Amino acid sequence: MFRYYQFLHDDLMLGGIPARQIAEKYNTPLYVYDIDILNKKAELLRDNIPGQVDIFFSVKSNPNLFFSHFFKKLGYGSEVASAGEMSIALKAGIPPGNIVFAGPGKTMEELEYAIANHIYCINVESREELEHIAAIGKRLQTPVNIAVRINPSYSVKGPKITMGGKARQFGIDEEQLPEFFQQLKKTKNLHFRGIHVYLGTQNLSPQGIIENWTNIGKLAVRVSREYNVKIEMINLGGGLGVPYYKGEEELDITHVGKALKDILPGISRDLGSGNIRFIIEPGRYLVAESGVYLTKVLYVKKSRQKTFLITDGGLHHFQPLGQVLMKPFPMNIINKAGQSETDNVTVTGKLCTSIDTWAEKISLPPAVPGDIIGIYKTGAYGFSASLALFLSHPRPLEVIVRQGKTRVIREKEDQEYMMSLQSEYRD
């Protein structure tokens, strides 16, 4: 479960530096990202996924500009779900032809921004959205590249959070495709790229992932034949998982990659083209394990039969999207990581709400005020999914570390900056 983390005696090491030293230098709470881990995950994925498959980083997993720029240098594209994420990708230097735009509630302004920037495709998720796209394309007098996001009739094994295969706000139901393609063929200014399917996230089952990709290929062939459309692109979605909890094994990406290599030729053959663009859009798999959230113990408080470790962090900084699994993220006292775990404690943040709790009755080494708790694998869906404005605390610092050197990639906000974003009401 901690394959990518290094420990020296009692200390968690990040980029060759004891994490407690980073906490002392920059003060807590803060996020620290180990670039060596990030490189290892990127290399592992690229070494095993067939070369004819384009990797598009899912910006939502961590929207800090640093990550989009890091993956741009590796030749990755970007999967975005808002105009804000699209602006991050463009600022990072991602070519518009390597950007796809998904999401069930795109506004007219967001659609126009995507169309004006001539991105590779907009994944259409409703017939009404198709009408809006066509209207904007007509007004701007420009062709628009689209794909259809399909909510298929089947489900898939493995994902902890499902996003398709049943009634969902995402995509167009498979049984509604006849009406969609009938509408598409009547509409001008639209260039059809292909299909997008994303059935679920945090999947650690190689067989479930392989079965899903096989089914997507079959679905693409069916769509091409039944609706007489050319498929240029198949977006296989994301969902590659990482192990968070005891008993979970790391995804066998080598097995998954070999199976995908076997699948692709058959799909291309059945579509009658050797020039299909295949895309996957991982996020969590690439960045989760690189990140550790560091927060200081302020108080060790006894309340009846429970012991609380109250920290200077909270859900305003770290509200893990995976917390819907109702399990605490892996954590430890990073300056006592080699010591025996003897105390059953409840770890909380500083917010005035009982939901600001990261772990109930978790075993940790005995803690005192000033100890640093590290919450592991927080590089994805941690800060970006947090309750950022609750109680008006500043947003945290973000730091990268590599080979003994650190660099700030997001400054900590102060109260003056937060107030500058607001205007005072006067009669």
What percentage of the chain has pLDDT greater than the value 70? 93
pLDDT of residue 159: 43
Give the mean pLDDT of the chain: 90
pLDDT in tens, 80-132: 999 999 999 999 999 999 999 999 999 999 999 999 999 999 999 999 999 99
Residue 88 has a pLDDT of: 98
End-to-end CA distance of the chain: 59
Quick: pLDDT tens for 158-190. Answer: 444 454 455 566 678 988 899 999 999 998 889
Q: What is the reported pLDDT for 158?
A: 44
Q: Is the per-residue pLDDT at 18 higher than 80? A: yes
C-alpha span between 240 and 407 (Å, rounded): 29
Cβ-proximal residues to 156 (8 Å cutoff; 6+ apart), any chain: 162, 165, 199, 200, 203, 208, 211, 212, 215
**pLDDT at residue 263 is higher than 70:** yes
Q: How far apart are CA 58 and CA 302, in angstroms?
A: 42
pLDDT of residue 413: 77
pLDDT reported for residue 163: 47
Residue identified by tokens 């945290």 is: 396
Q: Which candidate, 61, 62, 92, 64, places its Cα nearest to that of 77? A: 92
For 7, 145, 174, 291, the CA distances from 15, given in Å and listed in that order, are: 11, 42, 47, 11
Per-residue confidence (pLDDT) for residue 270, from 0 to 100: 96
Nearest residue to 60 (alpha-carbon basis) of 364, 214, 318, 284:
284
Q: What is the per-residue pLDDT for 168?
A: 66
DSSP, res 181: H
Ordered domains of the chain (ranges, CATH)? 6-33+288-420 (2.40.37.10), 95-282 (3.20.20.10)
Helices and strands (H, E) in the chain, number of each type: 11, 23
Residue type at 80 in one-letter notation: V
> Structure pTM?
0.92
pLDDT tens, 137-155? 999 999 999 999 998 876 6
Q: What is the mean pLDDT of residues 340-361?
A: 87
Per-residue pLDDT band at 412 (split at 50, 70, 90): confident
- Lowest mean per-residue pLDDT among 148-152, 200-204, 259-263: 200-204
Tens-digit pLDDT profile for residues 209-246? 999 999 999 999 999 999 999 999 999 999 899 998 88
